[in-house]
Amino acid sequence: MPDPSAPAGAGTARAGRQLSLHDYVDGVLSANRSVIGRAVTLLESSREDHRQLAQELLIELVPHSGNARRVGITGVPGAGKSTFIDALGTMLTGQGHKVAVLAVDPSSSRTGGSILGDKTRMGRLSIDPNAFIRPSPSAGVLGGVAKATREAMIVMEAAGYDVIIVETVGVGQSEAEVAAMVDTFLLLVLSRAGDSLQGIKRGVLELADVIAVNKADGEFITAAKGTARELAGALHLMQPRYKNWRTPVTTCSALYDLRMDEVWSKIEAHRALLERDGLLTNLRAEQQLEWTWAMVRDGLMWQLRSDSAVRAIRDDVEQQVRAKQLTPSAAARRILDAFRSEHREA
């Protein structure tokens, strides 16, 4: 990970000088792209001095955040999420918006590596002066995906980006995490003759505020419309998230920039509902509360893993579990007892 305290180039700090809190705040608020990138790197760092500076930076930036449209996007494999975001973001910058894309890129649990290839799949946005793309690995970040992305959102909003798009990998817990930090959660799907709903989890449908059937072009238009009808029918059998909102299903073609304006109009309609019914303020407050407890859980887990008493017994406990000499519940009790014992003595 690059050192976020290293020089940022002209206009931010003299060559050879580390960035101060003032440098970061001034650079982000003036939309200096170099400082914005380094500020996010600072937030992702696990170094104690970086974490302290990062928290001080967030305190300064929070009053300048909170006004953007926060949109989460997920989708089945092959749905074309990156192409979709490239098309939607380019349309929005053309309308005068400033768009930030935060691509959740979970690192390998085995190697710690990440693909981080989203910029190469978003050719137009990657060179758009009114767009900022930031793929972020989760490995080594205290709090993982949720912390890194939530805090990066604050930086982007303070820098003047009024549309924040968070892309998930489309599998696992990241979908729920992203849905819990955005205003509108969009599900991108494909039309598949005969099995349109196959592979789409009910839980994801329940999270979706808007659904778009992508690749609705050429010979696939009829199939896409059929998929949209099937999804709309399935949604009528489910309890809506909001009293006055029935999740709309629309079709589009990100590759050919077709009906992207219709998709955005659905997102805007959802945002208008949240504001009109007074739901947005409550939603943001609940998100802050959930973030707080998530950080408490992650902080406790960090302490437990780094605890000396736990480290002393960890290998032996894990070996006994593998050998079926100790049940997982008994192993958990031993670990927690060791952790509590050391802290009681302290």
The full set of domains in the chain, from first to last, is 1-64 (1.20.5.170), 65-276 (3.40.50.300), 286-345 (1.10.287.130)
Strands, E assignment, the chain: 69-75, 99-105, 131-137, 163-167, 184-190, 210-214, 249-251
Confidence of residue 25 (pLDDT cuts 50, 70, 90): very high
Instruction: State pLDDT tens for residues 221-267.
Output: 999 999 999 999 988 888 888 888 999 999 999 999 999 999 999 99
Contact of 130 with 95, CB cutoff 8 Å: no
Confidence of residue 135 (pLDDT cuts 50, 70, 90): confident
- What single DSSP character describes residue 18? P
Residue partners of 124: CB distance under 8 A and separation at least 6: 86, 87, 89, 90
Q: What's the CA gap between 88 and 152, in Å, rounded?
A: 20
List, as own/partner pairs, every contact residues 49-56 make where C-beta atoms lie below 8 angstroms and the sequence separation is at least 24, other chains included: 50/4, 50/5, 51/142, 53/5, 53/21, 53/24, 54/151, 56/21
Q: Hey, what are 263's tokens?
A: 């998709």
Which DSSP string corresponds to 89-157? HHHHHHTT--EEEEEEEPPPTTT------HHHH-TTGGG-TTEEEEEEE-TT-TTHHHHHHHHHHHHHH
Q: How many CB atoms lie within 10 A of CB 153?
A: 22
Which DSSP string corresponds to 287-319? HHHHHHHHHHHHHHHHHHHH-HHHHHHHHHHHH
Rounded alpha-carbon distances, angstroms, from residue 153 to 65, 138, 182: 8, 15, 10
One-letter identity of residue 341: S
Mean pLDDT of 18-29: 96
Q: What's the CA gap between 195 and 14, in Å, rounded?
A: 60
Partnered with residue 213 across adjacent β-strands are: 189, 251
Give yes or no for residue 296 having a pLDDT over 90.
no
Instruction: State pLDDT tens for residues 152-184.
Output: 999 999 999 999 999 886 555 678 888 889 999
Give yes or no for residue 140 having a pLDDT over 70.
no
One-letter identity of residue 5: S
Give yes or no for residue 203 having a pLDDT over 80.
no
Q: What's the CA gap between 159 and 119, in Å, rounded?
A: 20
Mean pLDDT of 41-50: 87
Main-chain dihedrals φ then ψ at residue 278, nearest 5 degrees: 70, 20
Instruction: State pLDDT tens for residues 63-74.
Output: 999 999 999 999
